[in-house]
Chains A and B, each alone.
Chain A
Amino acid sequence: MDSFIVISLIKVVVVFAVLLTILAYLQWVERKVIAHIQVRPGPYRVGPHGLLQPLADVIKLITKEDLVPPHASKPLYLAAPFLAMTMALMSIAVIPFGPIIHVAGYQTAMQLADLNIGVLFVLAISSMGVYGIALAGWSSNNKYSLLGGLRSSAQMISYELPLSLAIAAPLLISNTLSLRELVEKQSGGFWHWNVLHGPFPQIVSFVVFLIAGFAETNRVPFDLPEAENELVAGFHTEYSSMKFASFFMAEYANMITVSCMATLLFLGGWVAPWPAEYGSRFVPVVIFALAAVAALYHGMNPARRRDQMSLPVFGILFFLIAALFLLPVVQEWLLPLFWFCAKTGAILFGFIWIRGTLPRFRYDQLMGFTWKFLFPVAVLNLLVTGLLVALVS
């Protein structure tokens, strides 16, 4: 019992630290990717390839002046960013990153808490997240903020329906609400993943889930709550310093939650795309070795003078990581973690890619799209899935 508490505490600290670091660096990745889509280098000055930029941003945000606008409803104004961030960070508690592992004689799951209603927990927490945004818009006493808050609450209520219906379909196939069991039922290869698995492949609901997920996280092309050219900055116009930063972090944390849920529900979680005996455990080694070779090659022929130093260092680091994946001691937990991060990362990259590609919806298009198209499609998909599951079983 005591070891359970100690292990849980260690897991909480590790997961929280990693999550916050990823939140900071996800923003660096986004800026870099968008920059390269727009053919420019992106952050480059602070540290090698701008790698210390998140740190500089954190220092900047902490030291900025913290303003409270006059006539703002103060308790709600102060509570809103706190609410948004708490609800965004809480979902990570039930998300499993890997199977049950054995470390130093102890057995533990790579997950903070295994709820048997894990899916519903994530839905409940994310549906509470809208209060942070709506109350921020209302309490700022600013009409742009109010419009942003109104838009976001209308948008989140509307897109929650197709989102929940899209989640329900793979649950019918897997017949469980626990995220861990959900992944275990998809093991064996990519043809067992819910997105491709019979009786009815869930490609449609996967796409509906992703679209609704984009809308739930207020990302482009659904970022009307913070449409810059209409609403200044939407619901967080009046926020500064760390309060502004917490809205930012909440948005990125929600992005991570949606990506994790898509991975767990449709893409088989930490399960490798094909069984380990056919060589799937060498995929990370090959990927990191190739990255190392590419980095070393570009280090030999540097495009910029400072790359002469930085790229070979990255290359050696990648080689070390590739070698790490060959150690049998760590393979048990490193491989599932790699596959989970690879799938989640691919979806996160999709988020950023779409931000660099698509323009924003008009407001009536946004509402017409979900109620007249997305919702009926999700209902139809659920009905067909339910029928086929009932016929097969």
Chain B
Amino acid sequence: MDVILFLIFAIIAVVGAINVVVQSHPISSAISLVGVMGSLAVLYLLLGAEFLAAAQVIVYAGAIMVLFVFVIMLLNAGAEVRKGQSSIALFLGGPLLVALLILLAWFVQQLFPGVMVYFGGFRGGSAQDVGRALFTTYLLPFEVTSILILIAILGAIVLARKEMD
């Protein structure tokens, strides 16, 4: 049951991710990305990280991607035209992609030898556990990230202001 669910949503995630790149219309790409986010959330849920799953949907699918769709609609972007496809990219890229995937699989095998992954195996995915981890063990990285985001927001405001003058 778990394996079937995992396979279904893993396939949706991968197909959606490929679709993001393949689609020629920005709206279709954005919707595919929403699908990827949603299936990632289900994968988190299968592992037992329920808070992360909810946050994934609320933040990425529900807020950031809505903003993407909003901007695409606002600019009324049309379908992109395919051009400049080089045959070298196809012949060189295909084997390189396969090589990359093999390397990735090998690294994962080497880094986590004999680690069994099973469903609901992750304990500590509840909101309490995540909060405690963020504010005790990972307090410094958490605060640094907050300041980084603050700088990014300030930068966005400054850049937008310059444009107006």
Contact = CB atoms under 8 A, between A and B. Distances in A.
A131 B67 contact: no
A130 B62 CA distance: 8
A121 B54 contact: yes
B61 A134 contact: no
Given A117-B51, A120-B51, A157-B63, A150 B57 contact: no
B34 A131 contact: yes
Contacts of A315: none
Interface string A125-136: 001101100110
Interface string B56-100: 011001110011011001101000000000000000000000000
A224 to B, nearest CB: 15
B54 A134 contact: no
Given A117-B50, A124-B58, A177 B127 contact: yes
Contact of B126 (A116, A128, A157): A116
Q: Which of A73, A117, A150, A177 is packed against the most chain B CB atoms within 10 Å?
A: A117
Interface string A100-133: 0000000000000001110011011001101100
A336 interface: no
A138 B74 CA distance: 10
Nearest to A120: B54
User: Range of interface residues on chain A?
Assistant: 20 to 34
A151 B2 CA distance: 41
B66 A134 contact: yes
A138 B73 CA distance: 7
Interface in B38-61: 41, 50-51, 54-55, 57-58, 61
B13 interface: no
Contacts of B126: 116-117
A153 interface: yes
B20 interface: no
Interface string B132-165: 0000000000000000000000000000000000
Given A134-B66, A150-B73, A156-B66, A128 B57 contact: yes
Nearest to B61: A128
A158 to B, nearest CB: 11
Nearest to A115: B50
A124 B74 contact: no
B57 A154 contact: no
A211 B27 CA distance: 31
Contact of A76 (B31, B34, B55, B61): B31
Interface of A: 73, 76, 115-117, 120-121, 123-124, 127-128, 130-131, 134-135, 137-138, 146, 149-150, 153-154, 156-157, 160, 177
10 contacts: A76-B31, A121-B54, A124-B62, A128-B62, A130-B62, A135-B27, A150-B70, A153-B66, A153-B69, A157-B63
